[in-house]
Each structure stands twice: as structure tokens, then as C-alpha cells.
Amino acid sequence: MFLVIQGSRFPSDTFTYLKTLLGAPSDAPAVTYYTQIASADIEESARRTVDLVQADGTKWAVEELVAMKFAYIKHLAELVANEKVTDVVVTVPPYYSQFERDAIADAIEISGLRTLAIINDGTAVAVNYAMTRTFPTPEYHVIYDAGASGIRATVASFTTAKDPKTGAAGTHIAVAGVGYDRTTGGVELDRRMREILIDAFNAKTGKDIREDKRGMAKLWKEALRVKAILSANSEAVAIVESLAWDIDFKTKVTRAQFEEKCKDLKNEFSKPIEDALKNAGLTLDNVTSVIFTGGSTRIPMVQTAVKAAVGE
């Protein structure tokens, strides 16, 4: 959220949603999409990837900027642990290509850390889920992760088995199948909410807010706030003082209006679950539960779509 606040003040010097650009060539669809969700300037690098460019002309590779995030997390971890942190296990979406995983590994190295492992998000959640539970009979669970960058579903099996050498009982976890949609995540919902606000401002003023970078960054911040309110309420009021050209902006947005804007995504919310089960060779009858994780699972239309697909 700090970056979102800074972005409304310094749109050309604030770099957000960097995962979108990791390992992406300059002509990739991900780069085109990035220009729709961020105000930072980008240009092709010598490696045929992209650099992000500050207002003063300073260029940064995506890996360098992600490394700064890792370095900051390292600093926070050391403050909490009161000891040096040198090694990390990092989770990534299951759809990450080898190029994206290599870019993450490069960022970790630049930050001064050492990579012990890069594992899938769903696997990490499965391990966490099993830590406080026992499984006297084998179980399958679907881990449904609706995050900022996409939606992932992981079918994981949990069984209790004995170590043949020591006889000690332990939990065995195996990933049976995964499904994903890397275009339908929280960021896309944020973008569509901002489009609602853009249309409202343009209609009221006769001006195009897209021509003002700072105004677009302010609307992005407000879109996040309004989306969060609509997760618990049927309507919300968007208010931005001096949005652009010294014009104050105020409009009401309803949940129905937001859901209408996203109606083409309705069937996409649950499809990763169907794909994961198909890849695992299973059906819903084999599944004990669906475990929600990720911030976008709080959104009512996402919950409704999943419930319609899998039941209570």
C-alpha cells in the first residue's frame, strides 16, 4: 500500500507489480498489460527484456528492483529474529516459466541472499495446512489461491505414513494436479474498477483523465479502496480531491456495477479448479474441502463463482 500511496505523488518514480515483468521479453503480452496498470516508463533493454526508467533517466532492470524488495524483507527478518538471515526458500506461482524462476533466483542473489529452494505457492500452503493436522485416512484438498497476479488451484493429497526405518508416523504430501489463469487476478479486478472511475470522471468533466499520469495513479489508489469496501457493502463512494486540473472527483459505485464490469470473468474464477482436478484424474467427489488463500478470495463474486462450481 505504501507504493500505491507514493505512486499517486511520484507516478514516474514508483515501480509496482514487478512480477508481471519478470523474465518477460520486451514484446511479450505481459509488457503491454503492464502499461495498462502502471504509470512507470519502460523501454527495451540490451537483453531484449525491459528496463524501468525514472524521471531523471536512471534505468533499472526488473531483477534489480525485485532484489531491493528482497533486501528489505531480509532487513525486517533480521530485526525480528535478531540474527543474520542468509538463506531463503521462495514461493512462486506454478505457472512460472524457467525464465521467470531464473529471474527470481537472480534477484535473490543480487539482494545478498542464497536460494535454498524455489517452490510452488500451493505446495507451501499444503505444508502449512498439514503442520497442525493428522490424516488417519488419505484426503485430497484443493488449495484455491486468488492473488494479485492470477488464480491458481492445487490438488494436494495428504496421508499419514510410518518411516520404514524409525517407525515414526509422519504426514506425506503430494501435489496431484494444478490449474491456473494468469490473467484473472486481483490486479485485473483493480484495473476494471479504475475503468469505472475513469468513465465517471470523463463523463462528468469532458476531459480524459488518461492524459494525466498523477491523476491515473490517484484513481488506482482509490480503485483499491472502493473494491475493498464493496467486498462488504453493496455500494461505496469514491472521493478524490484535486484529482487532476484542480478538479475534485466524487461518484458512487455499486457492487452490481462492478460485477457487471467483470461479468465476462465469472466462469474464469472457478476454471482453475476444474483444470487441476482434470490434471489429477479426480472429480469433486474425491475432494474433502477447498482451502481459500489469497486476498482476492474475499471478493463476493469470486466466492459465489467458486461455491457455484464446488458447492458448500
Residues 204-243: tens digit of each pLDDT: 999 999 999 999 999 999 999 999 999 999 999 999 999 9
Mean pLDDT of all residues in 167-176? 90
Q: Which domain holds residue 41?
A: 2-64
Q: Let me know whether 258 and 153 are in one domain.
A: no
CA dihedral 117, 122, 124, 127 (to 10 degrees): -130
pLDDT band at 10 (very low <50, low <70, confident <90, very high): confident
Provide the number of structural domains found in the chain.
Answer: 3
Of 264, 285, 301, the residue at which a domain comes to its end is: 264
- Average pLDDT score over residue span 72-82: 96
Q: Please check whether residues 281 and 176 belong to one and the same domain.
A: yes
To the nearest 10°, the Cα dihedral for 94, 33, 207, 7? Answer: 60
What pLDDT score does 169 carry?
82
Say if CB 276 and CB 215 are below 8 A apart. no
Q: Could you tell me the pLDDT band of residue 301, with boundaries at 50, 70 and 90?
A: very high
Look at residue 274 and tell me if it is in a domain.
yes
pLDDT in tens, 11-54: 889 999 999 999 999 999 999 999 999 989 999 999 999 999 99
* Same domain for 169 and 203: no
pLDDT of residue 5: 57
Reference 214, options 53, 13, 58; nearest CA is 13
pLDDT value at residue 207: 96
Whether residue 168 is found in the same domain as residue 190: no
Q: Are residues 174 and 274 in the same domain?
A: yes
**Any domain includes 85:** no
Same domain, 158 and 274: yes
* 11/55 same-domain check: yes
CA angle 172, 159, 288 (to 5 degrees): 125
| Phi, psi (degrees; rounded to nearest 5) at 51 | -110, 150
Q: Say whether pLDDT at 82 is over 90.
A: yes
In a domain, 88, yes or no: no
Q: b/e map of 13-33 (b: 16 or more CB within 10 Å)?
A: bbbbbbbbbbbbeeeeebbeb
Count of C-beta atoms within a 10 Å radius of residue 311:
8
180 and 279 share a domain? yes
Clarify whether residues 274 and 180 are in a common domain.
Answer: yes
Looking at the fold, whether 6 and 60 belong to one and the same domain comes out as yes
Centre a 10 Å sphere on the Cβ of residue 273 and count the other Cβ atoms it contains.
25
- Does 114 map to a domain? no
Among the listed residues 134, 178, 179, the one whose alpha carbon sits nearest the alpha carbon of residue 158: 134
How large a percentage of the chain has pLDDT more than 90? 88
149 pLDDT above the threshold of 70: yes
Q: Is residue 83 part of a domain?
A: no
Looking up residue 161, the CATH number of its domain turns out to be 3.30.420.40
Instruction: Give yes or no: residues 253 and 192 share one domain.
Output: yes
Whether residue 245 lies inside any domain: the answer is yes
pLDDT at 8 over 80: no
Mean pLDDT, the chain, whole residue set: 94
Q: Average pLDDT in the 146-163 region?
A: 92
Is the pLDDT at 92 greater than 80, yes or no? yes
pLDDT digits (tens, 9 = 90+) for 254-289: 999 999 999 999 999 999 999 999 999 999 999 999
pLDDT digits (tens, 9 = 90+) for 98-127: 999 999 999 999 999 999 999 999 999 999
H helix intervals, 206-261: 213-230, 255-261
Q: Among 40, 64, 88, where does a domain finish?
A: 64
pTM of the model: 0.89
For the cut 80, the answer to whether the pLDDT of residue 4 exceeds it is: no
- 153 and 41 inside one domain: no
Asked if residue 281 is part of any domain, the answer here is yes
Residue 37's CATH number? 3.30.30
Residue 107 is assigned to a structural domain of this protein: no
